[in-house]
Amino acid sequence: MSGKCVFLGTGGSMGIPVIGCSCDVCHSDNPKNRRLRPSIVVEIEGKTLLVDPGPDVRQQALQFGVDAIDGVLITHAHNDHIAGIDELRVYYMWRKQPIPLLMSRESYYDIAQRFPYIFHKDERSQGLIANFDVQLIEGERGTARFLDLDIGYCSYEQAGMKVNGFRFGDFAYVSDIRVFPETIYEDLKGVANLVVSALRFSPSPLHFSVDEAIAFADRVGAKRAWLTHIAHELEHDSASAKLPDHVRIAYDGLEVPF
Ligand SMILES: [Zn+2]
Ligand SMILES: [Zn+2]
């Protein structure tokens, strides 16, 4: 299974620049220090999958030319990952067919409370709302058959919320991770290209630090690791210079073949 990952956003929950912040990173001229909320597109076997329609999804789709999608995956229901779900209406308008959507039962319950109208099939809406064909992930770990693709998934927890990591062949996207079961190393065995979240160098209760993310990637055995979900404490160039060669800080627009 080969394909390509395009980073649509690599920032933390507030994005960079942070509103009202006077720090050097938020005022940097380096475009790699401008980060939208975390999201990727995976292009695989002729299909385009969007992972996490966050609050910046419209801007991201325009900026990076995501003119059509075949399906959507959701890691978890925190707002920085799903607040733009309503914007996916435009893809429904173009394709005139429900958009396949893969997520856990827990994510579904959470999102359906905040966007109840999205999941109602209502003739009166006349295409005014997105329309999804929801496929729920079964259990904590395994492989889902989605759009004729075998997509591996693992589960962990962030602040009491279930989060899923996804695997496409030897590429995996594992965001918002800090507390996880040991079985995740089996789930990610053989992953060569790993995207993993790392907020900053200092510890966080909800996210890996940079050092924790590197230790995780090395225990997985990934040949290359890309850090994402970056906070404004990390300046791209100076932080990158401190990292081992096989670990890179992702940036918006970066494309990674796998
Ligand atoms: Zn997040
Ligand atoms: Zn700042």
Domain ranges of the chain: 3-253
pLDDT at 123: 62
Spatial contact of 34 and 52, defined as CB atoms under 8 Å apart: no
Q: How far is the CA of 22 from the centre of ligand 2 (A)?
A: 6
Query: Nearest Cα to 257, choosing from 44, 36, 35, 37?
Result: 44
pLDDT at 120: 75
Q: Which residues surround ligand 2, an ion (CB under 5 A)?
A: 18, 21, 23, 26, 232
Q: What is the pLDDT of residues 111-125, one digit of tens each?
A: 999 998 888 766 666
Q: How far is the CA of 81 from the centre of ligand 1 (A)?
A: 6
| pTM, full prediction | 0.96
To the nearest 10°, report the CA torsion of 222, 225, 228, 233: 120
Confidence tier at 12 by pLDDT (50, 70, 90): very high
Rounded to whole angstroms, the Cα distance separating 161 from 11 reads 20
Q: How far is the CA of 163 from the centre of ligand 1 (A)?
A: 10
Q: Which residues surround ligand 1, an ion (CB under 5 A)?
A: 80, 176
Residue 44 in this model has a pLDDT that exceeds 90: yes
3-253 placed in CATH 3.40.50.300? no
Residue 106 in this model has a pLDDT that exceeds 90: yes
Mean pLDDT across the stretch 164-174? 98
pLDDT at 131: 84
pLDDT at 33: 98
Q: How far is the CA of 236 from the centre of ligand 2 (A)?
A: 13
Give the torsion sign (CA, 212, 213, 219, 223): negative
Q: How far is the CA of 20 from the centre of ligand 2 (A)?
A: 8
Q: How far is the CA of 16 from the centre of ligand 2 (A)?
A: 7
* Half-sphere exposure of residue 179: CA atoms within 13 angstroms, side-chain side: 9
Q: How far is the CA of 156 from the centre of ligand 2 (A)?
A: 29
Q: ∠223-227-232 over CA atoms, to 5°?
A: 160
Q: What single-letter DSSP state applies at residue 141?
A: S
Task: Output 208-215 pairs: Cβ under 8 A, ≥24 positions apart.
Answer: 208/177, 208/178, 210/234, 210/239, 210/243, 212/178, 213/247, 214/243, 214/244, 214/247
